[in-house]
């Protein structure tokens, strides 16, 4: 997987959350995303963009998740950026939407960078958002 941050985060700067792969639990991930982005002093519109991007990434993964799967989310906090990696076990033959799809256009419009991998029965979407300068 591509490392999107370009910086390593210390163990103290990483938050792991695991929730059932069910849309009813996405609010937990959206809230965690907003809280961590606020801690980095992101602007309100940047926080909302990131919440929407995390929601979209999770929706893409839920569509290909195995029954009774868990959605694992890793938040890496650096001085000026938040990287969110969401992963889920997938059904056999599952494919993520193409990078030309509307869903990917949303992710790339709302974040600094987005990447995805699918291998060994798991799919992962990584989102990087850097805080705008001047905050």
For the segment 37-73, what is each residue's pLDDT rounded down to a tens digit?
Answer: 999 999 999 999 999 999 999 999 999 999 999 999 9
Question: Distance between CA atoms of 111 and 130, rounded to whole angstroms?
Answer: 8
Domain ranges across the chain: 13-130
Whether 26 shows a pLDDT value over 60: the answer reads yes
Tell me the whole-structure pTM to 2 decimals: 0.87
CATH no. of 13-130 = 3.30.565.10
User: If you compute the radius of gyration of the chain from its CA atoms, what whole number of angstroms results?
Assistant: 14
Q: Give dist(CA 84, CA 125) in Å, integer.
A: 8
């Amino acid at each position: 997987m591509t490392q999107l941050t370009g910086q390593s985060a210390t163990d103290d700067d990483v938050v792991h959350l695991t929730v059932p792969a069910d849309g009813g639990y996405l609010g937990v991930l959206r809230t965690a995303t907003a809280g961590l982005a606020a801690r980095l002093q992101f602007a309100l519109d940047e926080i909302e963009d990131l919440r929407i991007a995390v929601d979209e990434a999770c929706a893409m993964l839920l569509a290909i998740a195995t029954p009774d799967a868990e959605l694992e989310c890793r938040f890496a906090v650096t001085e000026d950026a938040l990287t969110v990696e969401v992963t889920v076990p997938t059904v056999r033959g599952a494919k993520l939407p193409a990078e030309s799809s509307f869903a990917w256009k949303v992710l790339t419009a709302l974040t600094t960078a987005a990447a995805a991998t699918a291998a060994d029965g798991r799919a992962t979407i990584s989102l990087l958002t850097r805080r705008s300068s001047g905050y």
